[in-house]
Amino acid sequence: MDKKIQKILNRNIFKVIAQAADELGQPAFVIGGFVRDIILNRPSTDIDIMTVGNGIMLAEKVGEKLGLKQKVTVFKNFGTAMLRYRNLDIEFVGARRESYQRNSRKPIVEDGTLEDDQKRRDFTINAMAIQLNGQNYGDFIDPFNGIEDLRLGIIRTPLDPDITFSDDPLRMMRAIRFATQLGFSINDETLSAIARNRNRMSIVSPERTMEELNKIVLADKPSKGIILMEETGLLPLVFPELQKMKGVDSIKGIAHKDNFYHTLKVLDQLAHKSDNLWLRWSAILHDIAKPATKRFVEGIGWTFYGHNYVGAKMVPGIFKRMKLPLNEKMKFVQKMVELHMRPIALVEEEVTDSAVRRLLFDAGDDIDDLMTLCEADITSKNQEKVRRHLENFQIVRQKLKEIDEKDAIRNFQPPVSGEEIMETFGIPPGREIGIIKNAIKDAILDGLISNNHEEAYRLMLDKAAEIGLYPVNRQAT
């Protein structure tokens, strides 16, 4: 451990900060996540510098010494300042003492000592400090033995967890997020305090909650965090739709699978294949409408008819409440949810060219993501079945590739345009155009004609004749 810290402290930037701090006569420390991450060998470019005294003055002096005075950004209201040096984001803040009111997670802040500042930190592993002044350069100050918790892989609050979490309930989500990201466990008292204080989540904004949830979703094994949220009772408050998926119903001895654990398995399997946050959200939401569409049908068993369509319709409401983006990212998730059964349906029946073309047409450029999601969606315990499905998916992928190269369906452009149809038959915009264009598209997807202008033009003439339209004589007009 000593060696790693030593190495980091040899960097010029820390020497400059130390010099500036000594000139101002202010104790200064590297603190928090950066210290934690050095020891964990997780390279980080966010550095927090805490000083007993004025943080803004220290930042300005450091900026001066580095010759980048203009680039110091000052947040006067918060008493903090930031500067960017090479690839590093360095934040300066004065040591503070915080006190909380019942109805807000924003504290009343006063100047404080080093000890006050370390006490206000969320977890022992986030409260370690390294001093940067003269004689004391490199001193490791760790009043809550965070180094031991780091070694053992434990998340624990420095003070009484009931107070820590009630003061700022976002810390409950942070505890679960760090446990998930770092593969740590949460100490028993800390964990039970999360369960006791869960209703305090009501004072946290959805934006902040989602920032943490998204970090959980992006972890190597996201299920860990979601299970911790479920066990502590945070899940029904943050994400009731997901909570509803938990549990099995049984009628006449027939039970369906637990869709909550199935979803988590899909999410974990997907996490091995893709870092795309929105594809991971698609995994979380792919079966979200199963509780709403669940029915027991005599002679068939449990059914979830239309859960992909109903699920896609639920996405905007969930995204809106969770303050997730309502743009093309949401549309992507909707599309994934809606189409998630198509590839598997394809392999269960016969993989015909026209079915592959239709899938390619509907999925467009998102076809690879859809295939990745569907492969992750195979969670059977029967290894033989899993093997067979994955093999079939390989066949579908191969077919997709062949047909994509041959027929240019992926970003389908109608070979005959609406304008050309209107001109040819001398008609104004109207439903006939749609009928003809659809007939051409269907014929191409079904493989009746190739995707080119000549064949499409001929089909247009035939289809138009069926509905009583004939080309106008251009010479005459």
| Residues of this chain that bind ligand ATP (CB under 6 A) | 32-33, 46, 48, 121-122, 126-127, 168, 170-171
Instruction: Note whether 188 binds Mg ion by CB under 5 A.
Output: no
Q: Which residues of 373-406 are buried (b: 16+ CB within 10 A; e: fewer)?
A: bbbbbbeeeeeeeeeebeebbeebeebbeebeee
Residue 89 C-beta: closest distance to ligand ATP, Å: 10
Query: How many helices (H) and strands (E) would you count in the chain?
Result: 25, 15
Which C-beta is closer to Mg ion: that of 179 or that of 315? Answer: 179
Question: What distance in Å separates the CA atoms of residue 368 and residue 476, rounded to the nearest whole number?
Answer: 51
DSSP letter, residue 378: -
Which C-beta is closer to ligand ATP: that of 40 or that of 390? Answer: 40
CA distances from 170 to 106, 180, 208 (A): 11, 15, 7
Instruction: Note whether 46 binds Mg ion by CB under 5 A.
Output: yes
Residue 164 C-beta: closest distance to ligand ATP, Å: 8
**433 - beta bridge partners?**
none
Give the residue carrying structure tokens 């104790």: 27
Residue 28 C-beta: closest distance to Mg ion, Å: 18
In the list Mg ion, ligand ATP, none, the entry touching 171 (Cβ below 5 to 8 angstroms by class) is ligand ATP
Instruction: Note whether 88 binds Mg ion by CB under 5 A.
Output: no
Instruction: Note whether 211 binds Mg ion by CB under 5 A.
Output: no
Residue 46 C-beta: closest distance to Mg ion, Å: 4
Question: What distance in Å separates the CA atoms of residue 465 and residue 469, rounded to the nearest whole number?
Answer: 5
Which C-beta is closer to ligand ATP: that of 54 or that of 126? Answer: 126
Question: What distance in Å separates the CA atoms of residue 381 and residue 428, rounded to the nearest whole number?
Answer: 59
Handedness of CA 441, 442, 443, 447 (dihedral sign): positive
In the list Mg ion, ligand ATP, none, the entry touching 338 (Cβ below 5 to 8 angstroms by class) is none
Instruction: Tell me which residue has its CB nearest to Mg ion.
Output: 33
In the list Mg ion, ligand ATP, none, the entry touching 212 (Cβ below 5 to 8 angstroms by class) is none
CA distances from 446 to 344, 354, 395, 467 (A): 20, 5, 19, 21
Residue 420 C-beta: closest distance to ligand ATP, Å: 56
Residue 57 C-beta: closest distance to ligand ATP, Å: 21
Which C-beta is closer to ligand ATP: that of 122 or that of 268? Answer: 122
Instruction: Note whether 33 binds Mg ion by CB under 5 A.
Output: yes
Which C-beta is closer to ligand ATP: that of 62 or that of 170? Answer: 170
CA distances from 98 to 111, 184, 256, 273 (A): 9, 27, 50, 43
Identify whether the C-beta of residue 132 lies closer than 8 Å to the C-beta of residue 21. yes
In the list ligand ATP, Mg ion, none, the entry touching 168 (Cβ below 5 to 8 angstroms by class) is ligand ATP
Q: Which residues bind Mg ion (CB under 5 A)?
A: 33, 46
